[in-house]
Amino acid sequence: MSQNCDSVLTAIENKLSDLGFQGALDQTILAIAIKGRVNGGANPPESFQVFVNGYIPFWNEVDEGCNTVSWEWWWTTTDHLLTTQLRKRMNDIVRELNYQLRRSAFRLKNEGVIYVDGFQDPYIDHQFCDPKADTDLKKPISPNTWFWAGDRFVPKAPKTNTSTPQLTHSIARGTVTKGRRQMTPIASRKRSSMP
């Protein structure tokens, strides 16, 4: 593994265990709860709740099929191989962040903060480097990988009645109009259907 990659992962690991990060996380979530109450997000204001969810581990960290794979874009190298050790380390970072989010929600439960858990399990078998999801492990994604990717084709949406108002959401390189695709934005590639 590249020293640069290792140093970045180490910095993230250190940040997650830092008491300053944990305090800042509490302050941020509390500020959201306060803002929701002050701005009339619920009636009565003290009933306003903040639902915090964790992240999904991105990698299959058990299968060895990616141990000789690199997603390096600019040159061929063996410094960035997606070994089980590296994938587990990255998943451990996600698990630690989820743990910190859960702890923060617990500390702020009297302020209406709730940690949402349990939705991650369906993603098993649909992670990066999972042979059940990726037919070609050398590609970052396949149709059964439930994460977004830049090489996905977004099918054309069915025609709608154009006399009705259309909701529009602008994204990086294009505009998507509800019911009608004008351009395929890079940032809004669709995932395969989920349960």
Distance CA 84, CA 11 (A): 20
Q: Count CB atoms within 10 A of the CB of residue 188.
A: 16
pLDDT at position 129: 86
Q: Which two tokens stand for residue 29?
A: 């979530």
Give whole-number Cα distances, 23 to 30, 33, 37, 111, 128, in Å.
10, 15, 21, 15, 32
pLDDT of residue 148: 59
pLDDT at 172: 31
Determine the pLDDT at residue 146. Answer: 77
Task: Return d(Cα 95, Cα 113) in angstroms, integer.
Answer: 19
- Which pLDDT score, from 0 to 100, does residue 157 have? 46
pLDDT along the chain (195 residues), means of 10: 77 94 96 93 90 92 89 66 94 96 96 90 84 71 66 46 38 33 34 35
Residue 155 CA: distances (Å) to CA of 147, 183, 191: 17, 11, 11
Return the bridge partners of 181, or none. 176
Instruction: Round to whole Å and give the CA distance between 13 and 115.
Output: 22
- Residue 36 exposed, middle or buried by CB count within 10 Å (0-12, 13-18, 19+): middle
